[in-house]
Structure formats: structure tokens, C-alpha cells
A = this chain, B = another copy of it.
Amino acid sequence: MTSAAPLTVVIVGGVAGGMSAAARLRRLDEHAQIVVFERGPEVSYANCGLPYYVGGAIAERESLLLQTPASLRSRFRLDVRVRHDVVRVDTAQKVVEVMDLDTGRRFTQPYDTLILATGARPRRDEPLSDVPVRSLRTVEDADVIDASLSRPGVPVVVVGGGYTGLEAVENLVARGASVTLVQRGPHLLSPLDAEMAAPIAAEIRARGVDVRLGVEVATAGSGAVTLSDGSTVAAELIIDASGVVPETALAEGAGIRLGETGGIAVDSMCRTSAPDVFAVGDGVEKLELVGGDTALITMAGLANRHGRMVADLIAGRTETVRPALGTGIVRVFGIAAAKVGWSERQLRAAGREFYVVHVHPGSHAGYYPGAETLSMKLLADPGSDAILGVQIVGRDGVDKRIDVVATAMQAGMPAAELAHLELAYAPQFGSAKDAVNILGYVAENTRTGTTPTIQWHELEAAQEAGTTLIDVRSRAEFAAGAIPGALNVPVDELRDRRDELPDGLVVVHCQVGLRGHIATRILRQHGVDARNLDGGYRTWRDATLRRG
């Protein structure tokens, strides 16, 4: 026997997951034959940069194109074929059938191992009457949108207020377009809860964008769009950022099992139901940490990481995926919004038990200029104290805090342990008690009942049932804007004015929750059944913003 012939590995899809697999495999196996088929005209492009190319922050189109077939051939000896559509997989014969989109020629390519990195496609891509519809997933999309914005004031409707939709809005405004943002759900950024997302909508509106919540596009034509509430909006272009669905036709046609989510089903090694066929990226359902079940999470980081791991497996190493957290972030007009894990809405829908904490610490020490107030929401298991989800919104330091929490969550750290993290402190960067530490302290005070809280959405019912609401802020703060029905007793006067308070349940609140916590502790020790309004006036105000 001579030594085995080189392995032939065929990869369908040449962007994030597929290209990570190809490059890593070459580093581990210099002799494998690695063939990448990509339907589009480009491989390995920066699709997360497309909105910023449209907006002009990324000036050079070339900087989006991270690799070319030629560069991949010279560095990695990859056989990369763009504009090649894999139309069929025969898992019995272990061949793929490929069509060259430029010539129409069909041919078959055998494989020893196949990696499906087919990605996802826009949920909706049919044109609406004579108004063109574009998603923002490919360089070609960006080129077409760019060309549509040749004069100022072009009316554009963006459908979908998720990460991509918000990035599109910011960049369309930067180009002088007249933008309407249409969101089917009741608030923007559906991975976040309403009170966390509300400041984003307010900011976007302040930049002149017409934000329409709770509606869909019904029909379009003659330069306008009609929404489901009957209103019409001018539109020369519709940008569809309403989400994506896994591209599974190829897998389905090959009899490869799909999961309940509609994505390709894979095990913890990204193996599909067919022998020697792996799948990674946006086309695949992921094992998700909080639910312990599969979910569709379309994040470039996961695609890259899983692609690389599959190369390790093919090269004979042992590795498994980590359950996904769904960590995500978006910045729009200077506000960043980030999340990890589940939202309150998701937990409620699944009937999970949880407790909630809202805090508003500074992004760094208050005595040093430039600190911004963060809004942070934590959801944790009241039994195990496992972190179930965190949402953070603010103008500075959001990315750092979500990454710290994601790391803690991935490590299985309970919420109260966040208080003990020894984070780097200098006044430009944080505080001796960092925002994440504060989140941990308040979590512990809440879970242990040290300071019982009520949530913003429970306040109205409590007030209707006769509960007294005490605003413990200063007189000046109270005068500048207060919750209807609140009585102002500054925290420093509470001990002396205890007799003015009723004996039943009393809800106290301050601006962000800290003085309310102090007030609650004082009152409870003086025999008052006090609870703190979680997140204070600020969370209440954010939550009620959305009604405006």
C-alpha cells in the first residue's frame, strides 16, 4: 500500500464559516484538495461592513473584500470558484452537482468530506410592485443601494428594526435619505425588552427618522408604500432588514435532516444527518445555552468559530461547539445596545422563573469627565442565580460590559458573583465598583430580599390598589419631573418623617435605584413594608417613552 490519497474536501459557501473552515484546514493539512463553491461573485467579504459602505464611513469598496479567489489560491492553495452554484448533493455517491453561472455548464465534483456553509437568505425578496426591494447582505446589494441614493432626500423605507435595520437607518440618514423605519413588533430591537429599546427609538426619531411601530408593509406602488394601518409613506426604495431564513434547499434536496427551527440540524460537532457532511453558519440551527435547545442564531462569530472547528475535526482533532449565548451589539447614532442570553419576553413566553434587576451606573468614575449613564438589565434564575440574560444600552462602555457578562455567563458564573469581578480601574475606564460589579450587588440584594423591588410595569396596578409611592429624590429633581401620584420625601429626611408614612406597602423610588435602595433599607428597619422601584425614575421614564 502506498500512503492514502489526499482528502478531497468540498465547501459550499465562501464567506464566513466556509472560508474559516477552508483556511484552517489548509493550515492543518497541506495536502488536502480543498474546493470552495460560492454562488455569488465574491468570497470572504465583510458583510457586517455593508451598511457603513453605503453610509460612507467605509470609503473604499475594496476594503470590504477581505480575500479574492486569487489571494486564497496563492496563500492557501484553495480552489475557489465564485459564481458556481451547487445545485445538488448526492450523499450516497458523495458528489455535488455544480452549475457555473457564467457559462451554464454543469459538472459533478466528488468529495470525501462536504461542508455546507450555505448561509441564510432574506425572508422577503420579492419586489413590491414598482418599488425595488433590496436586502443588505451582499456587496451587490450595497452597490445597488448606493446607486439609488444619488440625490439628497430620496425616500427610503427600511423594513425591520433589528441590528441590520438600525445600521441601515443610520447610514441612510448619513447619505441624506428621507427614512421611514417600519417595525412589525411593538418596539425596535426585538431581542431587547421594551423599556430597554425605547431610548433607541427616541434617538432615531430625534434624528428625523419616521419610526412606525406595530405595522407592516402591505402594498407598494407609484413611489409609495402602504402600511398595515392604512397610512402611506413615500418610498423609492425598500430595504428589507426584516430578518433571514436558513438557506436549506440544498440540504433538504439531499435528504439531510432539518431541525424544528427550520435550520439544518447538526450535532455538537456540526455533523449533519448525512455521513461526512458537516454544516456551519447561518443555515444551521445552534444549541443555545439558556434554553438548552436549538435556536436560529445568525452571528458571524459563531459561523467563523464553527467553520474553524470543523476543519479541526476533519484534520483528526477532537472538539465540540459551546452552546451559543446569542451575544449581539449594535450602535446607532452614538447609542449602543447590546444583549446576551434571553429577554424577559422570551423567559415569560417559555414560562421560566426569573428575577429582574435594572441599574444605571456610570460608564466610568463620575468625577472624571465624559462618563455616560448606562442602562443595564439583568435576568437571573431565582433558584440557582444563573444569569439568563443581560441587556445594556448607553453611549459609552456598553461593549465592554456585555463582553464581561457574556464571559461570566459562558463560565457559568452566578449573577451575584459579578460583584466580585476584579476589573481594571482607572478613572477613564471604570469605577472602583464597576458597572458590572453594581449589577452583581443589586442582583444579590434583590434575590436575597435585602431590598425587595417592584418592576415598572407593576407600579400602576400597585398605585391603583392604594400603595403609596414615595419619591426620595431631592425637591429639585422632583420638581423637574416626577411619576404621577408620587409623594416627595428626600431620602435624608425619611428617618425624621417616618410618621408621615402609612403602615401598608410603600413603594419608594429615586432616579436610578441607589437612593431608593438606601430608603428601602431605612424604612424596612423602621417597620415599613417598603419596596424599591427597580431602576428608579429612569427605567420608568424609558418604559413610558414608548407610549409617547
Contacts and interface: CB of A to CB of B under 8 A. Distances in A.
A425 B30 contact: no
A133 to B, nearest CB: 24
B421 A399 contact: no
Interface stretch (A44-52, A105-113, A259-267): A44-52
A369 to B, nearest CB: 6
Given A328-B424, A400-B403, A304 B521 contact: no
A46 B371 CA distance: 15
Contacts of A526: 30
Interface in A416-440: 419-430, 432-434, 436-437
A495 B48 CA distance: 33
A215 interface: no
A404 B404 contact: yes
B495 A329 contact: no
Given A163-B426, A368-B49, A419 B305 contact: yes
Interface stretch (A118-126, A378-386, A407-415): A407-415
A196 interface: no
Interface residues of A, number: 86
B369 A58 contact: yes
Given A58-B369, A331-B429, A437-B305, A322 B521 contact: no
A137 interface: no
Contacts of A425: 48, 299-301, 327-329
B305 A426 contact: no
A200 to B, nearest CB: 14
Given A301-B422, A368-B58, A430 B30 contact: no
A537 to B, nearest CB: 18
A347 interface: no
Contact of A411 (B300, B336, B411, B427): B411
Contacts of A58: 367-369
B400 A423 contact: no
Contacts of A441: 308
A408 B411 contact: yes
Given A331-B429, A369-B57, A434-B301, A423 B406 contact: yes
A30 B519 CA distance: 11
A424 B74 contact: no
> Which of A64, A421, A426 has the most chain B CB atoms closer than 10 A to its own CB?
A426
A402 interface: yes
Nearest to A53: B367
A410 B305 CA distance: 24
A455 to B, nearest CB: 22
B521 A30 contact: yes
Contacts of A365: 46, 48-49
B428 A331 contact: yes
B426 A48 contact: yes
Contacts of A367: 46, 49, 58, 63-64, 66
B424 A77 contact: no
A31 interface: yes
A328 to B, nearest CB: 6
Contacts of A433: 301, 304-305
A525 B25 CA distance: 13
A114 B213 CA distance: 59
Interface of A: 16, 27-31, 46, 48-49, 52, 57-58, 63-64, 66, 74-77, 163, 167, 299-305, 308, 322, 324-331, 336, 338, 340, 365-369, 399-400, 402-404, 406-408, 410-413, 419-430, 432-434, 436-437, 441, 450, 491-492, 495, 517-518, 521-522, 525-526
Task: List the 7 shortest-distance A-B pairs measured between CB atoms, nearest first.
Answer: A411-B411, A30-B525, A329-B424, A400-B400, A300-B432, A399-B429, A74-B492
6 contacts: A48-B427, A58-B368, A329-B426, A402-B424, A404-B407, A410-B420
